Amino acid sequence: MEQKKILFVCLGNICRSPSAEAIMKKMVLDKGLQNDFCIDSAGILGIHEGQLPDSRMRAHGKRRNYDLNSRSRAVVYQDFFDFDLIIGMDDNNIEALEQKAPDLESKKKIRRMSEYCSKHSCDHIPDPYYGGAQGFELVLDLLEDACQGLLESTKI
């Protein structure tokens, strides 16, 4: 069976996308499906290149047993060929991904994270960076919902 390759994308790759990566990795591991998936995250911008996720996001994630240990990187041209799904967190991410996509086939891989939510009604995953603790908790709630829906939709 071929691996399902998923790339989560937000603006700087220090809050939402590394959280989605950590949540999805844990869900996949808990189901014993880690060999069936390749999961990564990246940012539209490379302004935090090489950095760990935001310390507040890591702390909130840790309380839910998620290990946010990936290093920030920017989306690159090759990602559009290496991944089956490229999932943006909000309209700005989607627009930027569509502009970066090298061809129509690549554009078809772009999805919106919120489309996988089943318990929460939302059209995007908000950026918690400038907010307080409630924002980080909300993002984790939304991402847990969306990752569960994504896992169910992959039907490996």
The residues that are catalytic are: 10, 16, 127
The angle subtended at Cα 56 by Cα 76 and Cα 49, nearest 5°, is 25
Whether residue 41 contacts residue 14, with contact meaning beta carbons closer than 8 Å, is answered with no
From CA 15, how far away is CA 44, in angstroms rounded? 13
Placement of tokens 């569960």 in the chain: 148
Helix (H) or strand (E) holding 87, with range, is strand 85-88
Is the torsion defined by CA of 113, 115, 120, 123 positive or negative?
Answer: positive
